[in-house]
Amino acid sequence: MPGFLITDIDDETLSKMAKVVAHCMNMREGEAVWIRSGLHTWRFAEHIRYELLMRGVTSVATFSSDWFVERAYKDVPKEHFARTPKEERALAEAVDGVITIEQPWDPLVMARLPREKLDARTAAFYPIRKIILSKKWCYVGYPSKPMADAFGIAYEDLRKLIIEGMLYDPEKLRADCEKVAAALRGADWVHITDEFGTDLELRISGRRINLDDAIISDEDVAAGDTGANLPAGEVFIAPIETVGEGKLYCPLTRDRFTRRLIKGVTLVFKGGRLVLDECRAEENEEDLRQTIERCMRIDEEKVRAGEIPELRTINVAELGIGLNMAIDKAIGYILTDEKIGGSVHVAIGANKTYGGTSESTLHWDFVTAPKATVEVIYMDGSSKVIMEEGKLLL
């Protein structure tokens, strides 16, 4: 059996993880789910399908392999990637929820793919992405040895971050999320600082507060918050996109398309927008710039076509506070990095599903070191420090 089809995660653990996924989706009897994944996660996907079916929820799973992805992007003409797949669109429209499990098996495959074909696929998939984001959706992490190699960490460490992060005490997570959400209610501004140069003020007055507490509740759906990540563990909000000043330092992130590691990123915001000429990275700065600029070009085309109202690729999109104490190490994997207890993350690009006003093909999170200080300034001018040097004070 090929290596990517062999799982070293035992069935008992996969079952526990699948129960967390099914609980998070909170589907109703008679509903249907589409599971999108890579072949290497087939056994995990089957556990999820079992847990869903036990709840009276049917599902269909679609898989692809690194072999197919690499060969297709090498041989298939760009114009074929520019066509929106009607079968995926039909699936997205037919189901009530979508679960996406981490792929590919080896993330470095993405770095070898032609950018122009990736751009074409991104643009063509955008209508499907909009449909998915209008349903219940969950993005689920899954470890692999090539993934650990790509992040430069031991496979056991990656497994620990993802699996223990997913199985983290749900009651404590929910309680901490509620405390932070309560402290943010009635806030006007949030001021984030750290010893590495972060000094950023964002305005959040009137914006919805979202709790990533491992369940898409009926209340979440009623408020328009239909998505989740696993591992979970953050409170996040869409700041006002056209205001906000200062700098944010992100020790490491990963390119959204090539998956190359980008280290020592300093983002500069003025009027809620990135000042690209002043943004820097200590390593692979060109990847950072190329991806943002390419997404800006895709979004510009969509503005001209009337598909999105205005260009918001580089506007501030999200402010999040990490609360999962089982995740304590940044590795450049945004799914776990943004949940690190004591960290803050800020994203650019799309944010309508969070209660914002921006549409974009890009959503890119940048996470601080886990030593952030967060001060909340209220409408009456009073203020409160809710996190100091990474320690929650609530």
Report residue 217: phi and psi, to 5°.
-75, 165
* Residue 34: per-residue pLDDT: 98
**Mean pLDDT score of the chain:** 95
* Residue 191: per-residue pLDDT: 98
* Residue 316: per-residue pLDDT: 98
Contact 324, 233 (CB under 8 A): yes
Token pair 């599903």 is found at 353
* Residue 332: per-residue pLDDT: 87
* Residue 2: per-residue pLDDT: 58
Distance CA(33)–CA(236), nearest Å, equals 25
Compute how many other C-beta atoms are within 10 angstroms of the C-beta atom of residue 329: 14
Stretches where the chain sits below pLDDT 50 are: none
Q: What is the pTM of this model?
A: 0.87
Contact 14, 41 (CB under 8 A): no
* Residue 1: per-residue pLDDT: 52
* Residue 349: per-residue pLDDT: 97
* Residue 260: per-residue pLDDT: 85
